[in-house]
């Protein structure tokens, strides 16, 4: 006996393609449930959803109706690109020259090097440490020290956009510069 939540007990008849897409967009279980019902049900529903997606400006290839319903729904919701986006970016740990003190800075090794170990300055280039996805590029100044998840962290503030974030202190960071952070005047 099928449960009351199974696809076969959730009739799709009577719902427009736009309503199916909207309901599938509410949450992941809804997307899976509706996709399963479409895949096992009337193939004309896929055709209706493909037509709906095209009518709202989503580019779909000619063979889209042969795709699994989950993929069609994601495209119709405009989420396929988001679903394919990497959520754990590949960290880039590259050598650089400090914009502030002009020191040559080596990669951080096991931790991404995102600040100068001599003057502790940085550039606003990361959203997630190492992703180089921030478009701001402003100067990041150390404004404080903190302890987060058992690690000592440097609190930075971007002088261009005002964003603040924390980065982990590296073992080779200048102790003198770390002590000086405590005595910095507010920005």
pTM: 0.51
Length of the chain: 187
Q: Which among 126, 180, 133, 128 has a CA at the least distance from the CA of 154?
A: 180
In this predicted structure, what is the pLDDT of residue 12?
73
> Using the 8-state DSSP alphabet, how is residue 61 labeled?
-
In Å, the largest CA–CA distance within the chain is 72
Residue 8 has pLDDT above 70, yes or no: no
CB atoms inside a 10 Å sphere around CB 49? 26
**For 99-138, what is each residue's pLDDT tens digit?**
899 999 988 776 778 899 999 999 998 887 777 788 888 9
Percent pLDDT > 70 in the chain is: 84
Query: Tokens 């590949």 belong to which residue?
Result: 90
Angle 17-24/43-55 helices, nearest 10 degrees? Answer: 90
Query: Tokens 């507010």 belong to which residue?
Result: 186
Query: Tokens 């495209």 belong to which residue?
Result: 75
**For 22-41, what is each residue's pLDDT tens digit?**
888 888 899 999 999 999 98
């Amino acid at each position: 006996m099928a449960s009351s939540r199974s696809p076969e007990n959730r009739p799709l008849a009577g719902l427009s393609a736009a309503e199916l897409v909207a309901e599938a967009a509410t949450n992941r279980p809804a997307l899976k449930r509706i996709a399963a019902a479409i895949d096992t049900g009337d193939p004309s529903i896929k055709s209706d959803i493909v037509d709906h997606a095209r009518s709202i400006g989503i580019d779909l290839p000619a063979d889209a109706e042969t795709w699994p319903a989950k993929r069609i729904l994601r495209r119709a919701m405009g989420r396929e690109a988001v679903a394919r986006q990497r959520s754990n970016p590949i960290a880039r740990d590259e050598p650089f020259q400090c914009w502030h003190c002009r020191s040559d800075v080596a990669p951080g090794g096991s931790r991404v090097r995102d600040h100068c170990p001599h003057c502790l300055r940085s550039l606003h280039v990361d959203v997630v440490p190492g992703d180089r996805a921030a478009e701001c590029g402003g100067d990041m100044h150390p404004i404080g020290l903190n302890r987060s998840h058992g690690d000592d962290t440097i609190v930075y503030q971007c002088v261009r956009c005002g964003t603040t974030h924390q980065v982990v202190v590296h073992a080779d960071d200048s102790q003198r510069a770390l002590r000086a952070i405590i005595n910095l005047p507010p920005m």
